């Protein structure tokens, strides 16, 4: 049997996908009022339907789960209607899309909370840095630690989001357990200082991840559920004293579900420049995980093919290359040059730098 490459087909649960060039979840801050996807978003996603799988931009399961302007949600009927247009556009071209379920936790601000209160987190640990509130840059605030009695309500928000994702026509969902957002805040000991059943030991810190996963799988079936981790990421002021132990444990526990995949980011040069340590990524965590691995994190076509050939990744999620190249799989097939991305238009704005990148002739 020949080694797989980026253009090899892959079976992901019930989905027979044409290639392993996945589109990574990309926050673009272009939803309309009410955090509702609209026609410009339909065009953007439809242009990229040739991806083996599109993983949607991070999408809030709750009105209190936002931390950036103009990001979409999946907790209202209007949002479901907006997403339905996107999933229909992709499916009409034979493509597939998962919705990424998101709650930012402490990476928010009273300006994003309906009642102007503090954002919630596992513990009252203030992140370093500033947040754009929609009008100005402000210091992050100290979040309010969730009471144990509130945690079932958090799980219900994920259940509600997963249910609405099904109504909106998605092919599956990815649980966002990475990049310093709420579930990642519970999992890592730099942000989880709790003394109850959700804090302390790695078993307790992993509890919410496992409970959310079980709840989402009960709605979708595990073979249509993925989960994302960033084991060595420092984005959003994150840290863990033993990432190999922490993420190895949670992956071992997740094996029992039979998920579609684990999406594990590798450490990039940019991460290292911000204080991350190289060493714990998909390659190091593969021994703990029995299922398929999707990896992301600054891959080139060459390094993506190498990861597939070495067997520690089954598909590669590309971010910036998909922003600038809506026909990325075809460019790989034809060994064609890639468009240059316009970084100034990554977040917010109009069709410029969003839907106006050229396709191959």
- Cβ pair 184, 127 in contact under 8 A: no
Backbone angles phi, psi at 315, to 5 degrees: -155, 155
Start-to-end Cα distance in the chain: 34
| Angle between helices 207-220 and 151-167 in degrees, nearest 10 | 30
Annotated catalytic residues are 181
Q: How far apart are CA 252 and CA 290, in angstroms?
A: 8
Q: Is 124 helix (H, G, I), strand (E, B) or coil?
A: coil
- Cβ pair 191, 121 in contact under 8 A: yes
Q: How far apart are CA 54 and CA 318, in angstroms?
A: 10
The 8-class DSSP code of residue 177 comes to -
> Residue 131: which H helix or E strand, with range?
strand 130-132
Cβ-defined contacts of 199-208 (< 8 Å, 24+)? 199/122, 199/123, 202/245, 202/246, 202/249, 202/250, 203/249, 205/246, 206/246, 206/249, 206/250, 206/253, 208/151, 208/154, 208/155, 208/183
Question: Pick from 213, 136, 135, 224: which is nearest to 177 by CA?
Answer: 213
Strands (E), 183-235: 225-229
CA angle 146, 57, 244 (to 5 degrees): 60
What torsion do the CA atoms of 302, 307, 308, 314 make, to the nearest 10 degrees? -130
> Residue 217: which H helix or E strand, with range?
helix 207-220
Backbone angles phi, psi at 232, to 5 degrees: -115, 10
């Amino acid at each position: 049997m020949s080694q797989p490459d980026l253009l090899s087909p892959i079976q992901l649960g019930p989905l027979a996908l044409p290639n392993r060039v996945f589109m990574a979840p990309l926050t673009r801050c272009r939803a309309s009022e009410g955090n509702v996807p609209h026609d410009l978003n339909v065009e953007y996603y439809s242009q990229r339907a040739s991806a083996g799988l599109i993983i949607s931009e991070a999408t809030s399961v709750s009105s209190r789960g936002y931390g950036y302007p103009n990001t979409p949600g999946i907790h209202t009927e209007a949002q479901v209607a907006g997403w339905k247009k996107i999933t229909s556009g992709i499916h009409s071209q034979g493509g597939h899309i998962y919705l990424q379920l998101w709650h930012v936790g402490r990476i928010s601000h009273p300006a994003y909370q309906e009642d102007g209160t503090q954002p919630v987190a596992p513990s009252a640990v203030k992140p370093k840095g500033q947040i754009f509130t929609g009008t100005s840059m402000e210091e992050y605030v100290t979040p309010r630690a969730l009471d144990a009695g509130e945690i079932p309500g958090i799980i219900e928000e994920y259940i509600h989001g997963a249910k609405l994702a099904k109504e909106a026509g998605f092919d599956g969902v990815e649980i966002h357990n990475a990049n310093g957002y709420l579930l990642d805040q519970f999992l890592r000991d730099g942000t989880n200082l709790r003394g109850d059943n959700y804090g302390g030991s790695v078993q307790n810190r992993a509890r919410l991840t496992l409970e959310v996963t079980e709840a989402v799988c009960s709605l979708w079936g595990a073979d249509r559920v993925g989960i994302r981790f960033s084991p060595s990421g420092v984005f959003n002021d994150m840290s863990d004293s033993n990432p190999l132990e922490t993420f190895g444990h949670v992956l071992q526990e997740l094996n029992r579900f039979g998920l579609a995949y684990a999406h594990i980011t590798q450490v990039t040069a940019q991460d290292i420049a911000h204080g991350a340590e190289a060493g714990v990524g998909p390659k190091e965590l593969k021994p703990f995980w029995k299922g398929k691995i999707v990896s992301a994190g600054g891959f080139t076509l060459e390094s993506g093919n190498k990861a597939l050939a070495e067997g520690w990744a089954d598909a590669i999620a590309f971010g910036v290359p998909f922003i600038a190249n809506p026909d990325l799989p075809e460019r790989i097939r034809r060994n064609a040059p890639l468009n240059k991305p316009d970084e100034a238009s990554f977040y917010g704005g109009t069709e410029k730098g969003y839907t106006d990148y050229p396709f191959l002739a």
